[in-house]
Structure 1
Amino acid sequence: MDEGVSPTLRQWQLAEALQGYRDRASMTLDQAAAKLREVGKRWSKSKIHRIETRSYAPKPSEVEQFAEVYGLSKQETEELVRMSHEAREKGWWQSSAMPKTFHTMAGLERDAKEIRQWEIALIPGLMQTSDYARAVIESIEPSTPPDVVDSLVAARTTRGRVITRKSPPKVHVILCEMALRCPVGGRKVMRGQLEKIIELTNERNILVQVAPIAGGVNPGLEGGFSILSLPQLSSDIGYADGVMGPVYLESQDDVRRCTMRFAALATLALSPKKSTELVRTILTEYQLSERGRGMTALDLSRATWRKSSRSGANSGGGQCVEVIALTSRPWRRSNRTGGANGSGGNCVEVVGLRGDRVAVRDNKNP
């Protein structure tokens, strides 16, 4: 048995094992319930169904009764009893502010061997910065008290450590370009978030692709979803979240549909290298737009303008340019004036103004 496995995965493994042993014993739910009532009390078809669908984690004593009815060996019984003990323990997420509806997913992420995820509008929770997570939480649930928001952000940050821990799962994320361009929390928050994505692409276990908006419609427009591969489970698990809560997709048809859709998205998306280049491009756009917000216009509406000496022959041709002198400023020679030591070519001087503004003049005719 693996060490350090979460209670969530243990319960899933236990439920799958019990259903498998019932099938091996060729018993229906009704037949199993009748046999169990012979060795214990309060057994019913619905109770067995809840155990097999993971709605209820059976006690070790109840697991021993299953073992007796299904005719299990001593070794098989001991294995199931151990699973039962571990399945009834508490994971860190169960004592956090994380919504109960997400506890199962947090436990599965904790033990996944591989995580594949497609997202349209938001950066996946496992990759979010604390500032981005806070902006998302406050936008979706504006009435959430500040202390609860703090706890939710802390829980999401803890979740994110799964993909960078020692022996992490293999992670393949495909993002719609829209998720990178939607300014969640503002430009500063998005800069930090995109920087983190770029940093994560350097991890050997993490692969990031971007589906460009210019590519038009794609198979993932119906919504985001995840596919998790877990140890000792017979098949992968699909997951989708929405307004009505989480949905787990376990049937072979549903999982196959998710897998094929993800494969199609991976084919349509940019390569990992080009995807990282696009993330860097968008990051630069955020950086430039943020600098632009800090610039202030210079009001020269009352200034006296004059014709520049560089406006063309006799001022009758070429570019008609007018200039204004800023004589109170400490002008200096530009390093772009041309010629050795700035002695030839167009003699240009510059002066720095407040913020990111710069004034330029011809020093031959200032």
Structure 2
Amino acid sequence: MAIPSDPELLKTQLGIELRRLREEAGYRIVDACKAIGAQHPKLSKLENGNQTADPEDIRQLAEFYGATEEQRDYLVTLAEKQPKRRRRRSGQRDAVPDWFRRFLALEWDATEIRTYEIDHVPGLLQTEDYARSTIVCWEPEADPRLIEQQVATRMERQSVLKRNGRPSVRLDVVLSEAALRRVQGSREIMRAQMQRLVAASKRPNITLRVLPFDAPHRIPMPSPFALFRLEEQGLSTVYLEDLFGATYLKEPEEFTQYSVVFGRLRQDALDPEASREFLDKMVESYR
């Protein structure tokens, strides 16, 4: 299985997997600490993605949890690919906030993502210039180096659309017409972004539907959301984001409710072919 290069993502993935294995095995953190002779804070930080892992500790934990040989080897590989302990620059830490780490791990491991966007093109489909413009708008006084780190993180996320070693994520997008008509950065940036969307709509693992302003009886949905499915982990969750961080809804009833809403939005949107034609017109409108 391909291993992503982002060190923060590596630690987050490892933490998610370790916590899942421990909970499935029915152990408390204190039990796991005894297995590797560690203190409670160390293991808690490890599961939260805030601790660089020792591969031998990971091997012992995996065996203690009863992981399969394949699971154990994958977790050890994650640990081995993490950078050695060193002083971190504050800019690098801020480039991926704590609340966003779990999102990155979920996105990387997801087998299916369904998302509804209102004001912006989804990050997985953004051009570099469009991404940079949105980040600068939110943080106009930020150090340019931090901006570029955030842009690089956003571009790295797009590797899930063409993963090596396992199937790419299935991405199903309903995109409000508002996101297509609101100029982000410049008309030149928007034209390139519309061209990117046209190209993305032709990929076999991406379904893109435009929800036009004149869609009759469209369901009023005031905020964007994303639905994640991770088949390997048996996980389904709703992701909601606001100014202060993110919320994950994991109860079956919550996921079902949002799935129904997404289905309504899809039904109200143009079909994929009509959506591509709409996007072609948007490309021309930004000449």
Deviations 1:255-277 (A, max 9, x none): 22322222221112111111111
Q: Structure 2: which 5+ runs fail to align?
A: 84-90
Tell me the residue number matched to 2:76.
Answer: 85
Tell me the residue number matched to 1:15.
Answer: 19
Give the aligned CA root-mean-square deviation in angstroms.
3.5
Relative to structure 1, is the Cα distance of residues 145 and 171 closer, same or farther in structure 2, using a 3 angstrom cutoff? Answer: same
Rounded Cα–Cα distance in structure 1 between residues aligned with 2:23 and 2:105? 21
Deviations 1:68-127 (A, max 9, x none): 6xxx66xx4866754653454539xx9687323323322332232222111110001111
Tell me the residue number matched to 1:242.
Answer: 242
**Percent identity of paired positions between Structure 1 and Structure 2:** 24
Larger RCO (CA within 8 A; separation ≥ 6)? 2
Rounded Cα–Cα distance in structure 1 between residues aligned with 2:260 and 2:181? 27
CA offset at residue 178 of structure 1? 0.3
Aligned with 1:153 (options 143, 147, 151) = 151
Structure 1: which amino acid aligns with 2:82? K
Deviations 1:191-244 (A, max 9, x none): 110011001111111110011122367556231111222242122232222211
Tell me the residue number matched to 1:128.
Answer: 126
- Does structure 1 retain, via aligned residues, the 8 Å contact 2:35–2:61? no
- Does structure 2 retain, via aligned residues, the 8 Å contact 1:15–1:51? no
Structure 1: which amino acid aligns with 2:95? M
Relative to structure 1, is the Cα distance of residues 119 and 90 closer, same or farther in structure 2, using a 3 angstrom cutoff? Answer: farther
Rounded Cα–Cα distance in structure 2 between residues aligned with 1:19 and 1:135? 42
Structure 1: which amino acid aligns with 2:190? M
Deviations 1:11-44 (A, max 9, x none): 323312211211xxxx7x5xx748976995745x
Deviations 1:285-331 (A, max 9, x none): 222xxxxxxxxxxxxxxxxxxxxxxxxxxxxxxxxxxxxxxxxxxxx
- Secondary structure, in 3 states, of the residue corresponding to 1:202? coil
Rounded Cα–Cα distance in structure 1 between residues aligned with 2:19 and 2:153? 27
Larger gyration radius, structure 1 or structure 2: 1
Relative to structure 1, is the Cα distance of residues 158 and 146 closer, same or farther in structure 2, using a 3 angstrom cutoff? Answer: same
Tell me the residue number matched to 1:286.
Answer: 286
- Does structure 2 retain, via aligned residues, the 8 Å contact 1:11–1:83? no
Please give the residue correspondences for 1:159-308 in structure 2 after superposition, counting only pairs within 5 Å.
159-166=157-164, 167-215=167-215, 218-219=218-219, 221-287=221-287
Rounded Cα–Cα distance in structure 1 between residues aligned with 2:112 and 2:220? 20
- Does structure 2 retain, via aligned residues, the 8 Å contact 1:120–1:221? no
TM-score (norm 1): 0.62
Structure 1: which amino acid aligns with 2:150? L
- Does structure 2 retain, via aligned residues, the 8 Å contact 1:18–1:52? no
Rounded Cα–Cα distance in structure 1 between residues aligned with 2:139 and 2:217? 30
Tell me the residue number matched to 2:96.
Answer: 99
TM-score (norm 2): 0.77
- Does structure 2 retain, via aligned residues, the 8 Å contact 1:39–1:65? yes
Tell me the residue number matched to 1:362.
Answer: none
As a proportion of its length, which structure holds more helix?
2
Rounded Cα–Cα distance in structure 2 between residues aligned with 1:165 and 1:107? 14
- Does structure 2 retain, via aligned residues, the 8 Å contact 1:11–1:87? no
Relative to structure 1, is the Cα distance of residues 66 and 172 closer, same or farther in structure 2, using a 3 angstrom cutoff? Answer: closer
Rounded Cα–Cα distance in structure 2 between residues aligned with 1:156 and 1:200? 16
Aligned length: 269
